[in-house]
Every structure is written in C-alpha cells, then in structure tokens.
C-alpha cells in the first residue's frame, strides 16, 4: 500500500513538473500546421499518463507542435487490447504508424522522438 502511494505521488509530481516546465511549441504557418495535422492523423501514441518515458515523448510532441492522438493503455481496456494485439506487448510509450494500409508499432521513447524529429522537425 505504501509503495503504491509513493508511485502515485511521484507520478503526480512528474506530471506537475512537466506542466510547469513545458517547452515552447514550434511555430509554423497555418498552412504548414494543417499539412502536419494531415500527416499526424495516421499516428497514435499508446501511453500511461504518469509514465516518465511517456511524459518525455509527449514533451517532444508538444515541442514539435504535433497533434498526435493519445491513447490510454492503462485505463482503457480496448486500447490496451489493441496495443497487445498489434504491438505484441503491453509496453509504453508505443507509437502506432499507419502507412500504406499497414501498421508499424514503435516502442522506446528515444526511438519515437528520433522518428518524430526526423520526420517533422524540418517541416
């Protein structure tokens, strides 16, 4: 019971620190941002709200100004089942990339951030 309380408290602290230290969004023209929104429509991030690696990934998404759908794999059983069926394991963060009628599942926050930066930082 005590360990769970500590974990919940640390999770809330991580979320609070993320909120007060959030990076500034990348500025784009409305046309460029609309193109980014179209491209990110094929992406979804499976995550747990207080997971430090998920927070790190969401911070990068915020900094890059990417409107990627967030899917709660902790409290939403349907999303959790999708993650297990598609990605093969319940591990977050996981970016689902739908391209050419197929889905690719990318785990590891550093890999996801690298992918997002290489694809969207120059746009």
Give, for 27, the enclosing helix (H) or strand (E).
none
Global pTM reads 0.87
Q: Which fold has domain 2-120?
A: Glutaredoxin (3.40.30)
* pLDDT at res. 51: 92
- The residues, ordered by sequence, that sit 6+ positions from 71 with a Cβ below 8 Å of its Cβ are 44, 45, 46, 47, 79, 82, 83
* pLDDT at res. 123: 60
Beta pairing, strands 43-47 & 69-72: parallel
* pLDDT at res. 42: 97
Q: How many residues does the chain have?
A: 123
As averages over each run of 10 residues, the pLDDT of the chain (123 residues) reads 81 83 89 95 96 95 97 96 96 96 96 96 72
């Amino acid at each position: 019971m005590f360990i769970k309380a500590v974990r919940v408290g640390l999770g809330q602290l991580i979320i609070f620190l993320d909120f007060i230290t959030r990076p500034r969004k990348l500025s784009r023209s409305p046309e460029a941002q609309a193109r980014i929104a179209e491209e990110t429509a094929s992406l979804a991030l499976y995550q747990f709200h207080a997971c430090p690696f998920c927070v790190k990934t969401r911070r990068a998404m915020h900094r890059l100004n990417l409107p990627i759908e967030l899917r709660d794999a902790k409290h939403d059983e349907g999303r959790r089942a999708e993650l297990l069926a598609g990605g093969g394991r319940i591990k977050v963060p996981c970016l689902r990339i739908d391209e050419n009628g197929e889905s690719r599942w990318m785990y590891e926050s550093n890999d996801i951030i690298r992918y997002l930066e290489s694809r969207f930082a120059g746009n």
